[in-house]
A and B are shown apart, each in its own frame.
Chain A
Amino acid sequence: MLGYLKQEFAGREGPATPQATGAESPVVASLEKIDRRRFLQLTGAAGVFAVALRVLPAEAMEPYPTGAAGMPNGTVADPHVFVAIAEDGTVTIVAHRSEMGTGSRTSLPMVVADELEADWARVRVVQAPGDEPRYGNQDTDGSRSLRHFVQPMRQCGAALRAMLEAAAAAEWGVDPGRVRAVDHEVVLLGDTSRRLGYGALAAAAMAQPVPPFDSLRFKPESEFRYIGKGEIAIVDLRDITTGTASFGADPRLPGMKVAVVARPPVVGGTVKSYDASETLKLPGVERVVEIAGSTPPAKFAPLGGIAVVADNTWTALQGRNRLRIEWDDGPNGGYDSTAFEAAMRETARKPGKAIRTQGDPEAAFAAAERVVSAEYYQPHMIHAPMEPPVAIASVTADRAEVWAPVQSPYGTRQDVAELLGLPIEAVTVNVTLLGGGFGRKSKCDYVQEAALVSKAVGAPVKLQWTREDEIRHGFYHTTSVERIEAAIDGAGKVSGWRHRSVAPSILSTFAPDSGYQFPIEHGMGFVDMPFDIPNVACENGQAMAHTRIGWFRAVSNLPRAFAVQSFVGELAYALGRDPKEMLLELIGPARVIDPAAAGMPEDFWNYGEPYESFPIDTGRLRGVVELAAEKAGWGKALPEREGLGIAAHRSFVSYIASVVHVKVGEDGTISVPEVTTAVDCGFCINPERVASQMEGAAVMGMTLALHSAVTYARGRVEQSNFYDYEMARMDRYPGKVGVHIVEHPFSVHASGVGEPGLPPFAPALANAIFAATGKRLRDLPFGERIA
């Protein structure tokens, strides 16, 4: 099992706003810290990233445990695995995580290069194939790439630097303490005439024993050249801008065919009968191939259907249009998302399975002076990466080779080997760039389809999904009703909290469906609710899955943050409080929460991380609230029908707060001129890519909040392309996203970035709309305009 399922269940008081030196600069991120600050400015005119910083104090690298140890195949730090140095000094570094836009393919090699004292201009990055025993875990999801691999990559770079120094010392016959690697060469201290480049030392260095961790000298943070600076362009920047970057559909193999598949319109449906005679008359169509289907729980098995194989994509599509297929819809043919919503609401109004109980919530509600309650709804969503699923497979009797945009290259390799009955050594999975992932490309059904069709036709096959296929045949973000009730005591304090979560579980894709969610879902914004409330009940109501449920960027955090953070706004209104002050009061004093004392379940899931390394620290949550509010000018006067809304959420062990500034036109049109996001992701390895993730999260958040709904009638997805599954475009995107990053030393552990920017946006927008208009929106999506 992949990704989330692989893991066992197991303050800032800031100085004034930094002034960007170029007021014209459109893209600004800032780094914040108590007694020093630096800011990074992407100065377009100069074409470089200018960074002003004050030097951090030197600090040793203290190792700390992460959840990487619990991931399949853990971590690897061996320089022989990750680095090769050519005679000309070119340093080749392996990127073993998939690149889907977060920048990990740049940032992790950058960490190696920095510790290695390599000149980034002489570094080349190559992509690893799926091979976890060699590289360590490659599941690129859960916002884990930097969080789990910054330590091994530092170790890898520092070890190879020591090996280069040892080789130079041996060459010169001196004590290794007398030499030092600096900027792609090793020098003899005190004798500047003695120096050897990395290329000249490479062979001897690689023959040195790899020194153990304890013997390594790590660079003090003040000596980092690249880490923490945000001055490195992404490694694929030139190729992307010239069209030479290779995505999933781009490799060309000799004799390659193109296939598209007609899949059952209902999950679990099957082909009753089909007629391909018109298809086969089309010149260029070579074969039709029936693919066996599956009914959940079937992990990532293909949905089945009829594949049309042709000599080009257009012909394959034309051929698919000519198929006559009669489907048996199977057990999900009655799925109707409107009726399902009503049923979930009913369930949420009744007691559910107790997941977290703190204090005596029943007594708190019985004694309450008043009770505030609200219900929040989120429909299914689909990922819609700009690159729909696509895979190329070349399968022979005893071998399979795949080229595909996959988040889980080794999981894909295992699945393809099992599917074809081949030993894993006989399967190669090459990873292309991913044209967006968002969780979709963790599920390799499209690769399995390509492998089956290639095997059937005896030729390399590119299997292309259309946009319609992507929207109608995916693994969907769950749909949910989150109902929250608060008991208010006589003093106007929140004395009790009851949260009922009702949603089909991702687990239904992997195991027989109980209708109940499991610890990983409980851990995402539900049982980890950090408020300082004495009596808490978190209950889970039953909801059976009727489609394929899968993880989508930020997963269950999306509906939970929407509900909890909207509800904070509702409480503020009910109690006549400022929303930011209400939020801070609920968070309570800065403290590290004791999960057991808070009544959290014994199997509380902390994003797979050891709690002692990544505890729930309410001080850091308060910190981002204060920072975002300050930078957004919280409390400032705004014109009629404009408002600010705030939301803060901890996910993927990072803390994010966003303030959304909304304008609601006279016709109800929603527009967002500005978003201010504060990020506390621990030690920040690449602030420029962190900023880009937050900028993007605001846009995806806007799409989610305004547009995103996959609905079902008669078991069929009703949407099909971007006209009815809309995306925020440049005429309706947050005009300016200001990103402010809390600065920490390495000892505050690097945490997730790819996903946590997304959850706060929708509730911050809902709270802003309430501030602007007095209308409270509880059902996603809101639409382009409010009534």
Chain B
Amino acid sequence: MIELTVNGEARSHAGDPAMPLLWYLRDSLGLTGAKYGCGVGLCGACTVHLEGDAVRACLVSVADAAGKSVVTVEGLDPAGDHPVQQAWRNLNVPQCGFCQTGQIMQAAALVARNPAASDEEITEAMSGNICRCGCYQRIHAAVRQVVGGA
């Protein structure tokens, strides 16, 4: 039995320890904010926080998360009003919206670690997250808004 914390709640998993966190969150816990996009860590749609770091939930097994704290977009802010979420709304960032929870979790980890991230640092941090609709201009602008750049 694996014990872990998800969005502040104690959780346990009795199944395959190798199950990626993504499928545990989605299928076992019904937390569907993290999305499946590639399954191999190339797109970032499943990004969650593990001990505060942005990780790809498709690459982290439940066993890897044992005893640790996982935060998904559902737990990012109790009211759903994290500054990154607000900035996303200010700029009407999404098109289809599918990748945006991963983008937001990536951005939230960045601004927590580096509250004065430069344009280049934003680009570097966000380049692991693909948006096929092509919202990068607004994503960059939204992160910049949070770090005080505009």
A residues neighboring B (CB under 8 Å): 24-27, 42, 44-45, 47-49, 99-103, 233-234, 236-238, 240-247, 249-250, 252, 258, 284, 312-315, 318, 384-388, 433-438, 464, 466-467, 688, 692-693, 695-700, 703, 721-723, 727-731, 733-737
Contact = CB atoms under 8 A, between A and B. Distances in A.
A695 B123 contact: no
B73 interface: yes
A777 to B, nearest CB: 22
A586 to B, nearest CB: 30
Given A312-B23, A387-B35, A24 B95 contact: no
7 nearest interchain CB pairs?
A243-B33, A699-B134, A435-B98, A696-B134, A101-B96, A101-B95, A26-B141
A243 B72 contact: yes
Nearest to B85: A241
Given A436-B98, A467-B37, A729-B127, 14 more contacts: A27-B91, A44-B91, A237-B92, A237-B94, A243-B31, A243-B101, A247-B97, A249-B26, A313-B26, A386-B45, A695-B137, A723-B40, A731-B127, A737-B137
Which of B101, B124, B137, B140 has the most A CB atoms < 10 Å from its CB? B137
Contact of B35 (A27, A99, A435, A703): A435
B96 A434 contact: yes
A26 B138 contact: yes
B16 A698 contact: no
A252 B88 contact: no
Contact of B141 (A27, A103, A236, A384): A27
Contact of B132 (A102, A250, A721, A727): A727
A356 to B, nearest CB: 34
Nearest to B122: A730
Contacts of B35: 247, 249, 386-387, 435
B142 to A, nearest CB: 7
A386 B37 contact: yes
Contact of A240 (B42, B74, B100): B100
A384 B132 contact: yes
Contacts of A236: 94, 97
Contacts of B19: 312, 314
A721 B37 CA distance: 10
B135 interface: yes
Contacts of A384: 132
B27 A258 contact: yes
Nearest to B92: A233
Interface string B104-122: 1000000000000000000
A436 B36 contact: no
A429 to B, nearest CB: 19
A728 B129 CA distance: 10
Chain B interface mostly: loop
Interface residues of B, number: 65
B96 A100 contact: yes
B42 A386 contact: no
Nearest to B18: A314
Contact of A692 (B36, B38, B72, B95): B95
Chain A interface mostly: loop
B130 interface: yes
A386 B131 contact: yes
B39 A27 contact: no
A42 B26 CA distance: 35
A238 B94 contact: no
A467 B97 CA distance: 18
Contacts of B136: 699, 728-730, 733
Contact of B80 (A241, A700, A733): A241
Nearest to B24: A314
B145 interface: yes
Interface in B1-56: 15-16, 19-20, 23, 26-28, 30-40, 42-43, 45
A553 B144 CA distance: 31
Nearest to A722: B42
A234 B127 contact: no
A312 B32 CA distance: 14
Contact of B39 (A47, A467, A733): A467
14 contacts: A42-B92, A234-B92, A237-B92, A238-B80, A240-B94, A242-B73, A245-B97, A314-B20, A386-B132, A388-B36, A436-B98, A699-B131, A721-B40, A730-B140
Contacts of B139: 730
B94 A234 contact: yes
B30 A721 contact: no
Contacts of A44: 87, 90-91, 141-142, 144-145, 150
B70 interface: no
A249 B37 contact: no
B68 interface: no
Nearest to A692: B95
Contact of A42 (B86, B91, B101, B132): B91
Contacts of A698: 134
A436 B43 CA distance: 14
B64 to A, nearest CB: 14
Contact of B32 (A241, A250, A318, A699): A250
B42 A721 contact: yes
Contacts of A385: 96, 98, 132
Contacts of A688: 92
A288 B99 CA distance: 31
Given A47-B90, A466-B39, A730 B127 contact: yes
Contacts of B147: none
Contacts of A703: 132
A26 B137 contact: yes
Given A696-B135, A730-B123, A433 B97 contact: yes
A427 B5 CA distance: 41
A247 B137 contact: no
Contact of A386 (B98, B137, B140, B150): B98
B33 A313 contact: no
Which of B36, B87, B140 has the most A CB atoms < 10 Å from its CB? B36
Contacts of B88: 237, 241
A128 to B, nearest CB: 18
Nearest to A466: B39
Contacts of B43: 386, 467, 722, 727
Contacts of A735: 137
A77 B33 CA distance: 36
A244 B97 CA distance: 11
Interface in B73-90: 73-74, 80, 85-90
A95 to B, nearest CB: 14
Given A241-B88, A247-B35, A699-B136, A729 B130 contact: yes
A25 B150 CA distance: 7
A508 B40 CA distance: 34
A242 B45 CA distance: 14
A25 B92 CA distance: 14
Contacts of B45: 386
Which of A24, A435, A703 has the most B CB atoms < 10 Å from its CB? A435
Nearest to A46: B90
Which of A42, A44, A315 has the most B CB atoms < 10 Å from its CB? A44
B65 interface: no
Contacts of A700: 132-134
A467 B38 contact: yes
Nearest to B77: A242
Nearest to B36: A249
A247 B91 CA distance: 22
B62 to A, nearest CB: 10
Contacts of A693: 95
Contacts of B31: 243
Contacts of B80: 238, 241-242
Contacts of B135: 692, 695-696, 699
A730 B95 contact: no
Nearest to A737: B137
Which of B27, B87, B132, B150 has the most A CB atoms < 10 Å from its CB? B132
A386 B99 contact: yes
B130 A733 contact: no
Contacts of A45: 145, 150
